Chain A
Amino acid sequence: MTLNVADARPAGPAGAPPLLELRGISAAYEQVEVLHKVDLAVPTGKVMAVLGPNGAGKTTMLKVITGLHEPTGGDIFLAGRCVTGAAPVDLARIGLCSIPEGRGVFPNLTVSENLWMATYRGVSRKEIEEKVFPIFPRLKERRTQAAGTMSGGEQQMLAVARAIATNPAIILLDELSMGLAPLVVDQLYDVVGKIAETGVTVLLVEQFARTALAVADLAAVMSGGRILQVGTPDEIAGDLHSAYLGG
């Protein structure tokens, strides 16, 4: 694997290829196709929110992007290069960072050991802790505690911390707000906003539109395994009812 998409992190000039692009991506579980020729482009340095109801195919789309689920058709481009079929571990090592649905932590590992796992992406343990602990001081207090024994908000905090610790080119966030108190969700999205300000590209998938649209530069609506609409957060906000409820 020779590609290093982290080089593409600063916002590119107008007209430059998007950092992440899906062209005609289809995916299936067993015999049932759940993504039908999805096209999506995430510009470099922008935050794109993909909204949609349960079963829209959002999580499957992220699994396909991260390489955990093989598409049945179409191609994925990262910094202009085709990465369809690349192994998830290779994608992670070249700067594609993902926080999966639920709590993206290793429950039996301590906070410190969870952060240690991020060193596979080429950053030292010391650098990671120096970067993360000032942003999340609570994690420093609990560095020897098993992640599974922390609250849901703290676990999600740890997952975000591990993601941002290694200067990724793009972060994929799946349902960051799931099962968390609104106050905690706001705190986490504040951090996402700050990450985005440093030029990191973010693709976030959410059911709760208002929270996601507040930090997004672009938004897409997904339903029934298809992208129905792409636009600015204002444009999307107006048509959300029809996306979620039909009509």
Chain B
Amino acid sequence: MHEFIILTISGLVTGGIYAITAGGLTLTYTTTGIFNFAHGVTGALAAFTYWQLHFDWGWPVWLSIIVVLGILAPAFGVFLHFAIMRRLEGTSETTRLMVTVAVLLSLLATVMWVWDPQTPRNVVNFFPGESVDMAGTRVSYHDLITLAVALIVAIGLWVLLRSTRAGVAMRATVDDRNLAVLNGSRPEVPGMLAWATGTMLAAVAGILIAPKLSFAALPLTLLIVNAYAAAVIGRLKSLPWTFVGAMIIGLVTEYGKGYLTETRFPTAGPYLSGLTDSMPVLVLFLAIMLLPTSRLRGHASSRTREIAHRPTWTGSLVFAALVIAGAVVAANTLGAADLFASTKMWGFAIIALSVIPLVGYAGKMSLAQLGFAGIGAICVSHLGSGGNPLGLLWAALICAGIGVLVALPALRLSGIYLALATAAFAVMLDRWIFQLPAFTWGDTRIDLFNSGTLNFERFDWPGIDISSDRAYFIFGAVFFALSSLVVVWIRRGEFGRRLLAMKDSPAACATIGMNHKLTTLTVFGLSAAMAGVGGGILGGALGTLSPVNFDFTAGLSVLMLMVIAGLTSPGAALFAGIFLGTPLITNLFPDYAQLTTILIGLNGIALGKNPNGFIAAKIRPEWEPALQRPFILAGSAAAQLVLVVLRFTDVIGNWAFVIGILLAVIGIPAAVKGELMLKAPRTEQELPPGLSEQPEGLGLNGHRFKPADIEGLDKLIAMPSLPTVAMAETPSPTLPGARHGA
């Protein structure tokens, strides 16, 4: 009984911290429509700042608390709102989520950069050693404070959102921003207040939990995953239910840790230790599955600024050919160490490619693609021993089956709930399944990760030897190029149209009799299969893999890079592969490894401006005209060929070669622009009277219609002039702040 009381108190305290975290999460989601994945890392940042002020610089506790919670945290929230979040109006839920992931990754890297993880640090409880006796159990002041703060936060937030005009305005702004403005509410104020309060709550939770965890950035950041479940139990809007959910999760976790031990269950114990760590995500998964569908409605993503470009076969074949050609050149020019380090890029690129049909085309947010890659790697390692390529086939089939199984309960989910369900699956794989010790099923002994490390041999294709790094690198490129053509084939075919239709309007799909369930299951299976194969290719590249290669945050990086470059572009998968799977960045900035992650994060943060990704927004418009000018392409290809010959004959080194290739590539759109300028009409006399551009060019290429153009066009097509209404002449005093004001 005594143990039960201790576990209950401990569970309530843990639940209290989850309640504070989930309360902040719910607040920002309810009032801004953004599910903040960076909530946990904000808490970590606050905890480290508190450590710096109090434990390192010796400031008094009260002053450190006031500075962190009263000044820095709210100020950071306001900064987040103005610099990032308010620019996300009109973007899809995927983009909004990914921007917060970008914030997560860059803040995590910043914390690890500023506070070196190798240096041990410690944060102790408030009032260390002080406690009270409750039911025969000593309860520390720190725990009591935590419980009291959780209760105050829950009640305070409820009062804020229900009984104050500022709170009602926050909720109104999410419902209909324009309508709120038309009622005289300044939309910046509720958003700013929500982010300031949410960030402060993250900071409170971070400081309170810091003494209970190992004081490091990652565990504090991943605290958020545990809080997801509480927020979902509150359906991301009900604060009382969020509080109840947090308490349930806290209790379940502590009871699990206390009772599911190896001492009590000598046989099952080793298998259950990972399960206790996964309790919150199990609760999350169950909550999402058991809540009625009508209660699982996130914020509607109405019209978005995002479009899915339809790739041409010509462009796609050119892309595939360039990938292979580039790989051949790189394989013959890179040094041995760099080449080995780069072989894994194709595995990452194929995993990233698997995101395109599922997230890019079908709009089904999945955070578990790297988890599927892990399953694929296990299949290839166990079923493709000796380099048997059939291992890849098994990986595809088994991953497709598991993908469909995961999709079955997720069929009724969309948006943020689907993202959270797949996140729960990924975290469960990461924390529990991949960590399982060996077990026996019937007569078969199964050891998923060989108790730590999977071993791979390079594939043994008949007639082709790809055992060397060079050959494997080219093999990976060919595999990726072919996979990218499969993705293009999907997009251009009927299945691709079904996926896009399902993304654009599920209701319209239902009215035309489309079986959206079958389509969803198929795309989940297909995408999981592709990720699984990617995992196998990755294993073949490295030779050994461990569960850490497939952890949840690494999966977020893959998805984020895809969103940055464009979720519907195979080129984005190549970008993700290069970024994650080559030493390019570390070679360029050897002393600033964390800075690289920060830069990725900052790029992700810019998504609000370019929700279609930089390939669709920047690269494609510049390159498409070039595809119609073969002589320019041929000129660039010839220049590149000369550079390749010069490099192979050792006339130039690697740096000169790379710079030359870059110039030859960048020169293509520049040459196109030059040609267009030469052909453009040079004088106004060549234009029809009254027009500022040729009639066919009006409205295109940045030439905006002007009133004079409309009149000119009217004259050109002999349109009669329309009657106008006589207006009274009135004086027009100016209004401060108006466009025609002072």
Contact = CB atoms under 8 A, between A and B. Distances in A.
A82 B738 contact: yes
B175 A81 contact: no
A55 interface: no
B266 interface: no
Contacts of B172: 106, 109, 113, 117
B728 A1 contact: no
Interface string B713-733: 000000000111101101111
Contacts of B705: 28, 31-33
Given A89-B181, A121-B183, A37 B707 contact: yes
B735 A3 contact: yes
A37 B724 contact: yes
Interface residues of B, number: 45
Interface in A206-240: 220, 226-230
Q: Please indicate which of the listed interface residues A106, A107, A116 has the most CB atoms of chain B within 10 Å of its own CB.
A: A106
Interface string A99-111: 0100011111100
Contacts of A81: 732-735
B735 A83 contact: yes
Interface string B153-189: 0000000000001001101101110111111111100
A106 B740 contact: no
A33 B184 CA distance: 29
Contacts of A88: 178, 181-182
Given A39-B725, A75-B732, A82 B183 contact: no
A84 B171 contact: no
Given A36-B710, A228-B723, A106 B734 contact: no
Interface in B687-722: 698-700, 703-705, 707, 710, 722
Interface stretch (A90-98, A131-139, A176-184, A192-200): A90-98
Contacts of A18: 728, 730
Interface residues of A, number: 60
B737 A86 contact: yes
A44 interface: no
B184 A80 contact: no
Q: Is the interface of B mostly helix, strand, loop or mixed?
A: loop
Q: Please indicate which of the listed interface residues A36, A37, A89 has the most CB atoms of chain B within 10 Å of its own CB.
A: A89
Contacts of A230: 725
Nearest to B168: A113
A222 to B, nearest CB: 11
Given A17-B730, A90-B737, A106 B179 contact: yes
B738 A84 contact: yes
B630 interface: no
Given A85-B740, A92-B184, A23 B722 contact: no
A44 to B, nearest CB: 12
B502 to A, nearest CB: 25
Q: Is the interface of A mostly helix, strand, loop or mixed?
A: mixed
B736 interface: yes
Contacts of A105: 179
B741 interface: yes
A118 B172 CA distance: 11
A229 B728 CA distance: 16
A89 B186 contact: yes
Contacts of B682: none
B734 A82 contact: yes
B740 A229 contact: no
B178 A1 contact: no
B370 to A, nearest CB: 35
B724 A39 contact: yes
B737 A26 contact: no
Interface in A105-148: 105-109, 113, 116-121
Nearest to B723: A228
A21 interface: yes
A64 to B, nearest CB: 12
A12 B4 CA distance: 79
Q: Please indicate which of the listed interface residues B176, B710, B731 has the most CB atoms of chain A within 10 Å of its own CB.
A: B176
Contacts of A185: none
B171 A109 contact: yes
Interface in A11-51: 17-18, 21, 23, 26, 28, 30-33, 36-37, 39-41
A41 B733 CA distance: 17
A33 B740 CA distance: 21
Contacts of B2: none
Contacts of B698: 31
Contacts of B733: 80-82
Given A1-B735, A81-B733, A106-B172, A228 B180 contact: no
B169 A117 contact: yes
Given A1-B737, A120-B183, A31 B165 contact: no
Nearest to B729: A17
Contact of B727 (A23, A84, A117): A23
A31 B740 contact: no
B445 interface: no
B184 A120 contact: yes
A169 to B, nearest CB: 13
A32 B710 contact: no
A116 B168 contact: yes
Interface of A: 1-3, 17-18, 21, 23, 26, 28, 30-33, 36-37, 39-41, 66, 68, 72-73, 75, 77, 80-90, 92-93, 97-98, 100, 104-109, 113, 116-121, 162, 220, 226-230
7 contacts: A21-B727, A37-B707, A87-B737, A97-B182, A106-B180, A117-B168, A120-B183
Given A89-B181, A117-B180, A228-B722, 7 more contacts: A17-B731, A32-B705, A39-B727, A82-B732, A108-B174, A226-B722, A228-B723
List of 9 A-B pairs having minimum Cβ-Cβ separation, nearest first: A85-B739, A120-B184, A31-B699, A92-B184, A106-B175, A17-B730, A93-B184, A106-B172, A88-B181
